[in-house]
Amino acid sequence: MEKNENIDNKRRKKLPLAVKILIAVFAVCIVVIGCASTALLLTLNRVNKVGEEDRIAREEESFEKDTNLPDDVPRVDEKDIIWKDADKTVMQDKDVVNIMLIGQDKREGQGRQRSDSMILATFNKKEKKVMLTSFMRDLYVQIPGYSDNRINAAYAFGGMSLLDSTIEKNFGIHVDGNVEVDFQGFEDAIDILGGVAVELNQAEADHLNQSSGNWKNENSENLGAGIYNLTGEQALAYARIRYVGNSDYERTDRQRQILLALFEKMKQTSPAKTVETINQLLPHITTDLSNGQILGYAWEVVNMHVQTAESYRIPVDGAYQSAVVREMMVLIPDLEKNQEYLRKVLYNK
């Protein structure tokens, strides 16, 4: 792990890795189309496809239990939560494509787990821009067919289709498809590219010094504040920090910082190395999109020539309540205000 003093600290809203991967995969598909249909099928078939997804029985649903709950956060009985009737119209537009990017913290041999991160990548073909909307995993929402729960439970209970239905029911947004990338894929991509530059503050450095793994600098000393070149394993450990700073808010910021750093590294690498990285990632990608849908979106997205991304977060500031429900720290959103916000930024409605 090498300290890098010459990296520009300025953070721009460039395309993060998950979207870069999506666009790059689309681009590879287009190139291959011009070569041979057999090669095209071989490329697409390296991506895992989701078939019909099973759903757990309602009596098997579960709720996470948090420990060390703060005393200053109100306790709310789940029966006392009354959801405001928001506009039940689901937004859909031929010029807008919504792809849900799902991160799952799944170990080898494990089945489907709760979604660790959910980022809606919205491609607005008319305005030629992409918008990234993070849905915080502690959102307390209605899950169709189940009890109200954290939004990350929807993926564990019923996969991509139930997560999509949950987004539609609560936020009125239609999801056109889903792409899941497991964390092992991110580790591999970072290592292929030789690591990524990340700036640590002192609190983050202190936390990592106490964690497992190799966190010494080039002089075998504990880390301090500064910019470091992290390996895939180290970058993932950094992205998983939750109990430093403002809890999950800063954790999602760290995840985006890793993605931005990896995107910057991919921009600087050779085309051959980029292709190697993408090929390494393909087996770690799972999608419910058919080959035909992938190709259709490929033509549309690549021709947009997107260079930057706008970044948003749900719930919107001032449009949620922090509470303890069912022994969980959750964020109870004002559905009406969050729906209005999404329609404005994603659809300009």
| pLDDT score at 198 | 87
Question: Is residue 295, in this structure, part of any structural domain at all?
Answer: yes
Over the chain (349 residues), the average pLDDT of each successive run of 10 is: 39 54 58 48 77 90 91 94 80 92 70 84 86 91 97 95 96 94 79 88 84 56 83 83 67 73 73 75 86 81 73 91 96 95 92
Question: Is residue 55, in this structure, part of any structural domain at all?
Answer: no
| pLDDT score at 1 | 53
| pLDDT score at 12 | 42
- For residue 77, give the CATH number of its domain: 3.40.630.190
| pLDDT score at 246 | 62
Count of structural domains within the chain: 1
| pLDDT score at 27 | 56
Question: Is residue 266, in this structure, part of any structural domain at all?
Answer: yes
| pLDDT score at 185 | 76
- How far apart are the C-alpha atoms of 155 and 142, rounded to whole Å? 13
Question: Is residue 162, in this structure, part of any structural domain at all?
Answer: yes
Q: What is the DSSP string of 60-100?
A: G------SS--TTSPB--GGG--------PPB--TTEEEEE
- How far apart are the C-alpha atoms of 229 and 217, rounded to whole Å? 10
Count Cα neighbours of 322 within 13 Å in the Cβ-side half-sphere. Answer: 11
| pLDDT score at 24 | 61
Let me know: does 136 contact 316? Beta carbons within 8 Å.
no
- How far apart are the C-alpha atoms of 155 and 170, rounded to whole Å? 15
- E strand or H helix at 42, and its extent? helix 37-44
| pLDDT score at 5 | 37
Residue linked to tokens 């041999």: 109
Question: Is residue 62, in this structure, part of any structural domain at all?
Answer: no
- E strand or H helix at 329, and its extent? strand 328-333
| pLDDT score at 33 | 45
- E strand or H helix at 135, and its extent? strand 129-135
| pLDDT score at 230 | 87
| pLDDT score at 193 | 87
Let me know: does 132 contact 312? Beta carbons within 8 Å.
yes
What does DSSP say about strands 309-314 and 129-135: parallel, antiparallel, or unpaired?
A: parallel
Question: Is residue 59, in this structure, part of any structural domain at all?
Answer: no
| pLDDT score at 10 | 34
Question: Is residue 60, in this structure, part of any structural domain at all?
Answer: no
Question: Is residue 56, in this structure, part of any structural domain at all?
Answer: no
- E strand or H helix at 322, and its extent? strand 320-325
- E strand or H helix at 31, and its extent? helix 17-33
| pLDDT score at 224 | 83
Question: The domain containing residue 177 runs over which residues?
Answer: 2-48+68-347
Count Cα neighbours of 298 within 13 Å in the Cβ-side half-sphere. Answer: 20
| pLDDT score at 34 | 45
Let me know: does 173 contact 179? Beta carbons within 8 Å.
no
Question: What does pTM read for this prediction?
Answer: 0.78
